[in-house]
Amino acid sequence: MTELRFYVELVLQFPMRSTIATSQFKSQSLKARDFNDLLPLVGLKKRLSKCVSNDGGLATSFDEGRSLENGARTKNLAVFVSGGGSNFRALRQATLKGDVNGSFVVLVTNKHDCGGAHYARENGIPVLIYPSTKGEPNGLSSNDLVTALIKYEIDFILLAGYLKVIPSELIQAYPNSILNIHPSLLPAFGGKGYYGTKVHKAVIASGARYSGPTVHFVDENYDTGHILAQRIVPVLANDTVEELAARVLRQEHKLYAEVVAAVCEERVIWREDGVPIIQSKANPNHYS
């Protein structure tokens, strides 16, 4: 009989999705019969469903014991930027180092002369403009943007400082395949008007003692999609906006690379309650 293995977490009251919090989780891998016996005791919680790849197929699941090393296909990535593109540059370096099993195939921006677009052109990456505006008359329509990304055979779309709303046409064409990085601990300090230094200014003004980046899936509204990962950084009593922004940005670069590596290796698992979590590469029985 195939031994099904389930992962049971003793979930803390306020779990934080970070590598720090992961070490606080107590976990043990159990055989199916133990899992059912144990559930009433620990009151937890969610039986992990299998990972569903973005084409709807069942990607590698831990009960099959297949190695992720068995040639997981290099994923085609599209990046959306509006500014200097430091997150894009850090992610692309991670792909070139082999830390991320992905390849940047196209960049989309609403500002043809932004730093991220210049970097893409200098490295032979095509640049598309979206949306079409008076200032960017060569911009694509939403439908043409979807068509173009499908033609590029894009697997995942990564927003990295993109400041315009992603249209529902694209969200519907790429379910659970569009990620964004935001420079605060969502759901705090997110939504319309919360971008760039405005976010850090609001965090400091609030008296919050911690901040940090959030990576989340993108839905129709700003910053309301499922949270996938976070990291925390201290907010110091005498922080300037620039100092806090720089501290958070350093962690953004690290967090985004970790998350995109997991996405490209199909290590994102969707819990039955709809919350996405990441399976550890080092220990497949650990999740964060």
Ligand X SMILES: NCC(=O)N[C@@H]1O[C@H](COP(=O)([O-])[O-])[C@@H](O)[C@H]1O
Ligand Y SMILES: Nc1nc2c(c(=O)[nH]1)N[C@@H](CN(C=O)c1ccc(C(=O)N[C@@H](CCC(=O)O)C(=O)O)cc1)CN2
Active-site residues: which are they?
Answer: 182
Q: Kindly give the residue spans of alpha helices, DSSP state H, lying in the chain.
A: 19-22, 32-42, 86-97, 115-122, 142-151, 168-173, 197-206, 241-264
The string over 124-141, giving b where at least 16 C-beta atoms fall within 10 Å of a residue's C-beta and e elsewhere, is: ebebbbbebeeeeeebbe
What is the footprint of ligand X within residues 31-50 (CB under 6 A)?
none
Per CB under 6 A, does 151 bind ligand Y? no
Spell out, one character per residue from 182 to 211, where the chain touches ligand X: x when CB under 6 A holds, - when not. xx----------xxx--x------------
Per CB under 6 A, does 88 bind ligand Y? no
- Residue 34 neighbours by CB under 8 Å, 6+ apart: none
Binding-site residue total for ligand Y (CB under 6 A)? Answer: 17
Per CB under 6 A, does 85 bind ligand X? yes
- Residue 44 neighbours by CB under 8 Å, 6+ apart: 8, 9, 10, 11
Q: Which of ligand Y, ligand X, none is residue 125 near (CB under 5 to 8 Å by kind)? A: none
Rounded Cα distance between 173 and 170, Å, is 5
Least distance between ligand X and beta carbon 286 (Å): 27
What is the footprint of ligand X within residues 248-277 (CB under 6 A)?
249, 252
| Chain centroid offset of residue 35 CA | 30
| Segment interacting with ligand Y (CB under 6 A) among 53-61, 117-125, 156-164, 251-259 | 156-164
What is the footprint of ligand X within residues 104-123 (CB under 6 A)?
none
Least distance between ligand Y and beta carbon 19 (Å): 22
Per CB under 6 A, does 44 bind ligand Y? no
Q: What phi, psi does 65 have (nearest 5°)? A: 70, 15
| Cβ proximity to ligand X, 181 vs 260, nearer residue | 181
Residue from 15, 84, 126, 131 touching ligand X (CB under 6 A): that is: 84
Rounded Cα distance between 271 and 160, Å, is 26
Q: Classify residue 58 by its DSSP letter.
A: B
Least distance between ligand Y and beta carbon 135 (Å): 10
Q: Which of ligand Y, ligand X, none is residue 252 near (CB under 5 to 8 Å by kind)? A: ligand X
Give the number of other CB atoms < 10 A from CB of residue 263: 26
What is the footprint of ligand Y within residues 182-211 (CB under 6 A)?
182, 192-195
Rounded Cα distance between 5 and 217, Å, is 28
The string over 231-243, giving b where at least 16 C-beta atoms fall within 10 Å of a residue's C-beta and e elsewhere, is: bbbebeeebebee
Residues that bind ligand Y (CB under 6 A): 159, 162-163, 165-166, 180, 182, 192-195, 218, 220-223, 225
Residues forming the site for ligand X (CB under 6 A): 81, 83-87, 160-161, 181-183, 194-196, 199, 249, 252
